[in-house]
Amino acid sequence: WGHFIGSWDKFFLYNVKLTKYELVFIEASYALTTTNIISGAVLERMKNSAFIIWCFLTILVNYSVASYWSWNEDSWLYDLNYFDCAGAICVHGTGGMASLVALYLLGPRVGSLKKDNKSLRPVDDADRPILVLFGALILWYGWFAFNITSPFLAPLEKFDHTYISTAGLNTLIAPSFATISGLIWLFYKDKDSIKFEEVVAVVLAGAVAITGCCYTVTWWGAAVIGFLASPIYFIAFWFVRERLHIDDPLGVIAMHLCCGYYSILAEGLFANGTVGKKGLFYGGFDHFGVQCLGLVSLFAFQLLSCLFLWFVVLRCCCTKQCGYRKENDVNVSYFDTFIGVQTRIDMINRDFQEILKCESTDAKTKLYHLHLFCLSYQSEEKKEDQPLIDYNGINGGGGGGPDEDDEQKGLLHHSESFHRHNLSQNSHVSTMVEEQTYYSN
């Protein structure tokens, strides 16, 4: 079994030389990245306890086996000169597959389905685009370190420092050309409604696409790979949401799973032979076949192992009393509800009176923001006559509880103009009215 699952002779760094510790550090950072991919997919749908167990099982089984097959000199794929430079499948494919299984079995977010309970609503625009851009730039910056360290893991007969510079250059070129093709795609799709988040997504899709072949292809190969990454991402994102009806608002499956596997095929097509074998476009039919074999083998193993881990191990760890799906009152913040990722109407009703009793202006501010969001959600469902929150005697910016006057009791009129009038009595809150109108609309 040594060619498939390894051995125990180096368990917990036993018999590992000090000169190999840098590989341990690189592998640990790759494993951590895998869990970050999963977290973006199951956000607000999975309990913390179940999420920790799921990530642990994914790293223990899927990532460990995939990285062993790809980078250990005793594995069967290593012997065939299979190449996955920086973890296109080991990291992105593993995280994407774990996300795919989890999202399919967890089901969609609350409020994300249309009235037919099957079709998904359009993904909301980012409320803070500058933060999305900032986060994407951090990821892209970190990708350089991610890729330029990959030559230390590969089956290289001779190490050359030019591999590092090649990996860095290709990591710059591929996302750039992915952005170009993505803008072209979005322009011809609908030039008047280009979303900022979609442009950022194709940048990261291009980075994923070059991960598996970052130092084995030329700069023009990286340009072509990146240019084709955007159509692959958009088609995969549409297919996952519109055909599979899987609620993946961040595009984790399309970006990491699909573009990660595409990167392995790109290695088999564009590898120039400077490192390892030549790709199909250079006459390397055998290398392309090996890449396809590795892709199919890893896909089958990861899919089956994820299903086994979910239905057998995770369900045993998370009993019926514990569960693994978030309920309406589990680990949900007011900010999570405010941005509309998952509506928590019951929680708002439950906590309403307690918030009114607070002297803190911030608590009331949150309440007003939540109510405006709930009104917009309610209007979208065309249930204006069914109130979401029972307001009993609110007289503006005071800090006390409900008014005892009978005339003040009951539901307040559901209109933005009413809230604008009440909020104007509190200067701290009124400064946020114009901004909140965007979400209410």
- Cβ atoms 57, 314 nearer than 8 A: yes
Look at residue 1 in the predicted model and tell me its pLDDT.
53
Tell me the pLDDT tens digit for each residue of 265-320.
999 999 998 887 899 999 889 999 999 999 999 999 999 999 999 887 777 666 44
CA distance 315 to 183: 43
Confidence of residue 155 (pLDDT cuts 50, 70, 90): low
CA distance 345 to 29: 39
Look at residue 369 in the predicted model and tell me its pLDDT.
56
CA distance 93 to 100: 10
Look at residue 159 in the predicted model and tell me its pLDDT.
62
- Cβ atoms 32, 104 nearer than 8 A: no
CA distance 433 to 416: 10
Q: Is the pTM of this model over 0.85?
A: no
Percent over 90 (pLDDT), the chain: 34
Most confident residue range from 125-139, 143-157, 232-246, 388-402:
232-246
CA distance 341 to 399: 29
Confidence of residue 368 (pLDDT cuts 50, 70, 90): low
Confidence of residue 380 (pLDDT cuts 50, 70, 90): very low
Distance of alpha carbon 309 from the chain centroid: 21
Model confidence at 425: pLDDT above 70: no
Look at residue 131 in the predicted model and tell me its pLDDT.
85
Most confident residue range from 2-6, 326-330, 364-368, 414-418:
2-6
Tell me the pLDDT tens digit for each residue of 21-79.
778 888 888 999 999 999 989 877 887 888 888 999 999 999 999 998 988 888 889 88
Look at residue 6 in the predicted model and tell me its pLDDT.
67
Residue 315 structure tokens: 């369900």
Tell me the pLDDT tens digit for each residue of 257-280.
999 999 999 999 999 988 878 999
Residue 281 gets which letter from DSSP?
Answer: G
Mean pLDDT taken over the chain: 75
pLDDT, average across residues 221-225: 96
Assign 3-class secondary structure to 152-219.
Answer: HCCCCCCCCCHHHHHHHHHHHHHHHHHHHHHHHHHHHHHHHHCCHHHHHHHHHHHHHHHHCCCCCCCH
Residues in contact with 245: Cβ distance below 8 Å, sequence separation at least 6, in sequence order: 108, 118, 119, 120
